[in-house]
Amino acid sequence: MKKLSFLMLILLGNFINLNAQNLLTDLRPGLDGSEPGFDNAFQRNNELYFIANPDGITNRLYKTDGTSGNTVVLEGGSSMYISLILGFLGDDLLYIAGDFLNGGSFGLYKTNGTPGAGELVADYHQGNDWFVAYPMTITMNNVLYFLGNDGVTGFELWRTDGTTAGTYLVKDINPGAESCLLITSPDQYFAELNGFIYFGAAEPVNGAELWKSDGTEAGTTLVANIDTSEAIVPNLGSNPAFFCKYNNAVYFSALRPVDGRELWKTDGTEAGTVLVKDLAAGSGSPSNMIEYNGLLYFSAFYPDQNYTLYKSNGTNAGTVAVKPPSSGGPILSLDDPFVIFKNKLFFAANDGINGQGFSSIWYSDGTAAGTSPQADIPAAYNSHPLNLLATTNYLYYTAYDDVNGNMNYGVYRTTDLANQNVLLTASTFDANEFQPLHLVNGCLLVRGDNNGATGEEIYTVCNQATQPVGLEEYKQEVFTVYPNPAIDRITVESVSNLDQVSGVTLQSLSGQPVTLSYAFSAQGKMIIEGLSNYHSGLYILTITTKSGSSQQVKLVIE
């Protein structure tokens, strides 16, 4: 009898509801919430910076460390409206703000995170068009590039080093009041390669095509006119999108009348801008590109079936579907990105059985046999997971909770093992399905509302006695290594702080791992030299973090 009871406890563990969300702070008391912009939030040093509306009129800039007492307003009020956060440059957070209610112009500001320390960087008009509601930025050589509007040239490529003198229009690509801005996904709008940023831009001669810039007007040029048909209006052309650096080239999707929207790559030259593969009749529409285990992965349409997971080594023959839908492979939506967790790709997908509106958590190691939906208990969890967040130990996400007739989005977690899904929030809690999760000081920060009592505010999920959430957890590092193949020197970059690295090793396919030494450049990138001391061939580069997680990269030494 004791053995049976123990087994029942194990099984019940898969169904446990921890009911553990707590209101962080009610920024806008009453039934209307402050609606914090978690999709335009930035995290640094265990603090999250975000915009919220505390009175239904003004937008203000806040920061929080995940506790109520340390959730404070930094800027904004009756005469200052915060419209957009661009991101961090050094120790400063850059944002767009202005006197919106009184007709004042918007400008670029910065803050060091101290309340009231906001400082005007450049006083220029920033338009508030709906299609720049999210930041499209990239940082290269301590300069942040963004789409800015001075009220004269329209939205064009701007740069800032955080100073007034260093903030200016790079080039008026689409001359006059018209904008060069393309209406594409704000994700992967730029990519950097060998001292240039790559992006799509529109102008009246060639239409919307592939451009690059080294940060100077003279160095901002058209790379290739991919769609050579006549540009009736500037926004028509190949409309490049979803830029991703991989294997010393920039990959992206582009459109031509002859073959539709397909996978392209460029080395920065016109001759080196080529179609990788015509994935499907009409359009393959590749999107959501990510480098994983030495290959490029993305979502694209599989002929006569549906959107699924692809991988590519950069060649036509080496660009294939990992597991087609007809063979039991995943059916992907167009806007669900991939995350790397426990050295596998995790994503939301449909199995083609329960209907396109329902999906579950899938994983892939890049092989057909290793691509599968995760076994979920109960089946009601298979309800379009969104907002995947990979940490050291857990994968968190939001999903539609229809248990007992509830029609809310709950917050869940799982591991890389089967039957590990756990609902972390009460059935009365409704997370905003379009707002990402953030992990700050061991607590999940979630935008949502509990039983309609507060409107959408910030709730925390943490410190649960039965099954702690997030304690000693860190957001999983994702490292980029280039060039690959390498001769003597490689550069390592990270989406967060490289100071979390605890060691780097190099191992041949038949030898023992060797510890490598590394240094940091002035731009904060990790530099590893001396690879010419090793024989040419394929190696495994392992980067380990202080949290104990690691990432392996296949590295070719020439």
Q: What is the pLDDT of residues 53-79, one digit of tens each?
A: 999 888 999 999 998 889 999 998 877
Query: Which pLDDT score, from 0 to 100, does residue 549 have?
Result: 66
492 lies in some domain? yes
Span of 121-135, 152-166, 358-372 with lowest mean pLDDT: 121-135
Percentage of the residues of the chain whose pLDDT score is greater than 90: 52
Tally of CB atoms within 10 A around 126? 24
Confidence of residue 102 (pLDDT cuts 50, 70, 90): low
Query: Which pLDDT score, from 0 to 100, does residue 12 have?
Result: 33
Bridge partner list, 345: 340, 364
Residue 10 has pLDDT above 60, yes or no: no
CB 279 within 8 A of CB 323: no
Q: Which residue range is the domain that position 552 belongs to?
A: 479-557
Percentage of the residues of the chain whose pLDDT score is greater than 70: 84
When divided into structural domains, the chain yields a total of: 1
Of the two residues 312 and 153, the one the predictor is more confident about is: 312
DSSP conformational letter for 84: E
Of the two residues 382 and 289, the one the predictor is more confident about is: 289
Q: For the CA atoms of 439, 445, 446, 452, what is the dihedral angle to 10 degrees?
A: 170
The number of C-alpha atoms within 13 Å of 398 and in the hemisphere containing its C-beta is 23
Query: Which pLDDT score, from 0 to 100, does residue 81 have?
Result: 87
Query: Which pLDDT score, from 0 to 100, does residue 536 have?
Result: 84
Three-state DSSP class for 189?
coil
Which CA distances in Å does 126 have to 142, 168, 558?
A: 22, 13, 48
pTM of the model: 0.80
Cα(381)–Cα(420) distance, integer angstroms: 11
Query: Which pLDDT score, from 0 to 100, does residue 238 have?
Result: 94
517 lies in some domain? yes
Of the two residues 196 and 498, the one the predictor is more confident about is: 196
**Burial call 453-486: b when 16+ CB within 10 Å, e when fewer:** ebbbbbbbbbeeeeeebbeebbbbbbbbbbbbeb
539 lies in some domain? yes
Cα(525)–Cα(223) distance, integer angstroms: 27
Query: Which pLDDT score, from 0 to 100, does residue 5 have?
Result: 35
Q: What is the mean pLDDT of the segment spanning 220-225?
A: 97
CA angle 175, 181, 185 (to 5 degrees): 170
Q: What is the mean pLDDT of the segment spanning 355-367?
A: 79
Confidence of residue 294 (pLDDT cuts 50, 70, 90): very high
Cα(368)–Cα(326) distance, integer angstroms: 12
Q: What is the mean pLDDT of the segment spanning 129-133?
A: 49
Distant-in-sequence, close-in-space partners of 179: CB < 8 Å, separation ≥ 6: 147, 149, 154, 155, 156, 202
Confidence of residue 129 (pLDDT cuts 50, 70, 90): very low
545 lies in some domain? yes
Confidence of residue 275 (pLDDT cuts 50, 70, 90): very high
Query: Which pLDDT score, from 0 to 100, does residue 3 have?
Result: 34
Confidence of residue 48 (pLDDT cuts 50, 70, 90): very high
Residue 13 has pLDDT above 70, yes or no: no
Residue 413 has pLDDT above 80, yes or no: yes
CA 13 distance to own-chain centroid? 32
Sheet holding 537-545, edge to edge: 514-515, 501-508, 537-545, 550-557
Query: Which pLDDT score, from 0 to 100, does residue 539 have?
Result: 84
CA angle 208, 210, 211 (to 5 degrees): 110
Query: Which pLDDT score, from 0 to 100, does residue 2 have?
Result: 33
Which CA distances in Å does 51 have to 48, 430, 449?
A: 10, 20, 17
> CATH number of the domain that 514 lies in?
2.60.40.1220
Residue 358 has pLDDT above 90, yes or no: no
CB 124 within 8 A of CB 169: no
Hey, which of 171-185, 308-322, 518-532 has the most confident mean pLDDT? 308-322
Confidence of residue 9 (pLDDT cuts 50, 70, 90): very low
Residue 15 has pLDDT above 50, yes or no: no
Q: What is the mean pLDDT of the segment spanning 467-483?
A: 60
Using CB atoms within 10 Å of the CB of residue 305, give its burial: 0 to 12 exposed, 13 to 18 middle, 19+ buried. Answer: middle
Q: Strand 143-149 vs strand 490-494: parallel, antiparallel, or unpaired?
A: unpaired
Residue 130 has pLDDT above 60, yes or no: no
Tally of CB atoms within 10 A around 429? 24
Three-state SS string over 455-510 comes to CCEEEEECCCCCCCCCCCCCECCCEEEECCCECCCEEEEECCCHHHEEEEEEEECC
Query: Which pLDDT score, from 0 to 100, does residue 131 have?
Result: 44
CA angle 164, 169, 175 (to 5 degrees): 155
532 lies in some domain? yes
Average pLDDT, the chain: 85
**Burial call 83-111: b when 16+ CB within 10 Å, e when fewer:** bbbbbbbeebbbbbbbebeeeeebbbbbb
Confidence of residue 419 (pLDDT cuts 50, 70, 90): confident
135 preceded by a cis bond (ω within 30 of 0) = no
Residue 377 has pLDDT above 60, yes or no: no
Tally of CB atoms within 10 A around 446? 29
Token pair in block for residue 423: 């609902």
Span of 227-236, 240-249, 403-412, 514-523 with lowest mean pLDDT: 403-412
* Residue appearing with tokens 């944002």: 95
Distant-in-sequence, close-in-space partners of 25: CB < 8 Å, separation ≥ 6: 64, 68, 71, 457, 458
Distant-in-sequence, close-in-space partners of 543: CB < 8 Å, separation ≥ 6: 477, 479, 492, 501, 503, 504, 550, 551, 552, 553
527 lies in some domain? yes
226 lies in some domain? no
Cα(353)–Cα(232) distance, integer angstroms: 43
Query: Which pLDDT score, from 0 to 100, does residue 548 have?
Result: 61
Span of 139-143, 169-173, 269-273, 548-552 with lowest mean pLDDT: 548-552
Residue 324 has pLDDT above 90, yes or no: yes
Comparing CA positions, the residue from 310, 358, 376 lying closest to residue 338 is: 310
Token pair in block for residue 298: 């993305």
158 lies in some domain? no
Confidence of residue 406 (pLDDT cuts 50, 70, 90): low
CB 376 within 8 A of CB 421: yes
Query: Which pLDDT score, from 0 to 100, does residue 72 have?
Result: 95
